Amino acid sequence: MRAVSGELVTIGEFARLSRLSAKALRRYDELGLLRPALVDPVNGYRYYDPAQAEEARLVAWLRRIGMPLSRIGRVVALDAGAAAVEIRAYWARVEAETAARRDLAMYLVDHLSAEGRTMTRISGGTGDAGGTGGTGGAGDPGVIGGTGSGAGAVPLAIRCAALTDTGTVRTTNQDAAFAGPRLLAVADGFGAGGAEASAAAIEALKPSVWGAREGALSAADLLNALEDTADSASRAVRDAVAPCAAPDGSGTTLTAMLWTGSRLGLVHIGDSRAYLLRGGELFRITQDHSLVQSMIDDGSLTEEEAASHPQRALLLRALVGGVGSAPVAVAVRPDVRLREVRAGDRYLLCSDGLSAVVDEAELRAAVIAADDPEEAVRRLVGLAREAGGPDNVACAVADVAVEG
């Protein structure tokens, strides 16, 4: 029996103290979220310690923000500091998922609006099929949209290179990178099966657009293909780490770009990053799915403080073998979106073995100075090693150019 702090009260009196209904209290008891201090063995009446009122209100508040019952049970068992971290992680996940749904909603608005305009033009006899269009938010050009594949579209191609490095401290390399005519990808594995997870995630992407003729995928078809690809990567990681000693603690980040010849699709989860160099400016076009990033976003942490935060390695989203002891709050589907591309764009994808030790000014200078992607990846790995190379490094660079 739990220790009590004073005289017990009936469920009716406790309902008044906690500002919850007796029905809710009985439900919390049945679910194991809030047990009474005493249940009369004869009549079954529930009695509560008045000190439980705060715990009862916490359960109610967590229900109001939509937290699942199973997770509430874990939160209320923690001390205050750990509970605060868990709630922050949960809410950051909710916001990330909401942002992903918002991006998809905005894409659908743009796509359907463009289709409506196209049908109007066709019925009017202009014969102008148009494209999906779309522009990005402030500081991130081309968040949603495509170059279009109608008449007059300039055929583009990518030239690319990728490189990984163990670094100067680690003895094994769990990062993976790939650069090919249709795919650019980096993955940063963690846990006992980290190397298997990162390799599996990238392998799962390779068949996704291979079968499509160049330029044959519409924007809607590409978005559907990206969703299927994200699901395939999740399954591949689970299968790859299943034989490991600790599959629940293994997983990977994944940041990838898939190229169809006319449009570029982005798949992203975790804290590996994608950057775009356009017009001499370097834009970060992905958002880290990490606890410290969520704290930066809500103003409770500065960029400088984040660099030394004790929980800077805690991911809120990643591809994992299971939910357990992994340094990640939850396993969910990666973000997917379409991007506008232009001839002259240069894209950089990298793991945090580069971005965490080399600041963006140095990244920009190195990416600009390189004559081609091969030189760029060598320069970037060199910068990470010069900064101490405390982690594995993976990077991939692609140039968008007029085909021919």
Q: What is the pLDDT of residues 33-84, one digit of tens each?
A: 788 889 888 888 889 988 888 888 888 888 888 888 778 888 888 888 888 8
CA 102 from chain centre, in angstroms, equals 14
Position 142 confidence tier, pLDDT thresholds 50, 70, 90: low
What predicted TM-score, i.e. pTM, was given to this entire model? 0.68
Which single residue is written with the structure tokens 């909710």? 94
Tell me the pLDDT band of 25, cut-offs 50, 70 and 90: confident
Question: What pLDDT does 212 receive?
Answer: 47
Measured CA angle at 187 (ends 134, 280), to 5 deg: 45
d(CA 329, CA 324): 9
SS3 content of the chain, % helix, strand, coil (to 5): 40, 20, 40
Mean pLDDT, all residues of the chain: 80
Which residues are 282's β-sheet partners? 277
In order of their start, the domains of the chain are 9-77 (1.10.1660.10), 88-402 (3.60.40.10)
The alpha helices in 159-311, defined as continuous H runs, are 194-205, 219-241, 291-297, 303-306
pLDDT at residue 404 in the model: 66
Q: How many residues does the chain have?
A: 404
Q: Which one-letter amino acid corresponds to residue 126?
A: T
The pLDDT-based confidence of 336 (bands split at 50, 70, 90) is confident
User: CA 26, CA 34: separation in Å to the nearest integer?
Assistant: 9
Residues 6+ apart with CB under 8 A from 162: 177, 178, 179, 184, 185, 186, 377, 394, 395, 396, 397
Predicted pLDDT of residue 363: 94
Mean pLDDT of all residues in 286-304: 79
Q: Determine which of 51-60, 161-170, 195-204 has the lowest per-residue pLDDT on average.
A: 51-60
Q: Is the pLDDT of residue 381 over 90?
A: yes
Q: CB of 232 within 8 A of CB of 208?
A: yes
